[in-house]
Amino acid sequence: MCFDFNPHHDSEFLVGTEEGKIHLCSKAFSGQYLETYEGHYLAVYAVKWNTFDPKVFLSCSADWTIKMWMVDMTRPIVRYDLRCPVGDIQWAPYSSTVFAAVTSEGQLKVYDLNQEKHKELCNFTAIGGKQPALHVSFNKHDPIILVGDERSGVNSFKLSNILYQGPVHPDPEKDGNKTVQQMEIAKLGEFLNSMDKVEY
């Protein structure tokens, strides 16, 4: 149904299947999976690696859920129930804790795990008449999100300042030689450590 290459390890990729399983694969081992993740019970429509952390990824499914995973855990660590099929998800290119999702009811939902742990920070009706939204994408340079629908339409949304603050930048006096990626991984790590890692 879908796949995504790890931006930090280009030999690794995820594959989402119609039966709800997610397989971790490698170009070096074409005959077998490295791992299989089970948590969805209907088709997986999208799998996306985190922009900054090479061990974290999201999945969304026809079973109405978004799930967050860590590579070394075969069960999801966080789950969001959107009460309708979720067509696509995308991590923001500027933050380790911001992602967007679109649903079969034409909704665009934007999450910032650094500000609100348990639900979306904002919710838009992306397409009139509850037309299914199929794809979502962040602009890599500007605070804009694009949403594609099943009738070939594309809708654009501008993010408010509360959602578009750019990546955390290191303070040399406080953070030493940490890079932006290390700071973003630490920010996501704070969220993960604050959550109860319940197996679903």
| Percent of the chain topping pLDDT 70 | 86
CB distance 1 to 16 below 8 Å = yes
DSSP secondary structure string for all residues of the chain: -EEEE-SSSTTEEEEE-TTSEEEEEETT-TTS-SEEEE--SS-EEEEEE-SS-TTEEEEEETTSEEEEEETT-SS-SEEEE-SS-EEEEEE-TT-SSEEEEEETTSEEEEEETTT-SSS-SEEEE-SGGGPPEEEEEE-SSSSEEEEEETTS-EEEEEPPTTT--------HHHHTT--HHHHHHHHHHHHHHHS-----
pLDDT band at 65 (very low <50, low <70, confident <90, very high): very high
Give the model confidence (pLDDT) of 180-197 as tens digits. Answer: 888 889 999 999 888 754
Q: Report all structural domains of the chain as residue ranges with CATH numbers, in order of start.
A: 2-194 (2.130.10.10)
Q: Average pLDDT, whole number, for the chain?
A: 87
pLDDT band at 167 (very low <50, low <70, confident <90, very high): low
Q: What is the pLDDT of residue 200?
A: 35
In whole angstroms, give the CA distance from residue 88 to residue 120. 15
Task: Please give the model's pTM, rounded to 2 decimal places.
Answer: 0.87
Measured torsion, CA atoms of residues 42, 189, 6, 105, in degrees rounded to the nearest 10 = 40
Instruction: Reply yes or no on whether the pLDDT at 148 is more than 80.
Output: yes
CA 27 to chain centre: 23
Q: What is the pLDDT of residue 117?
A: 87
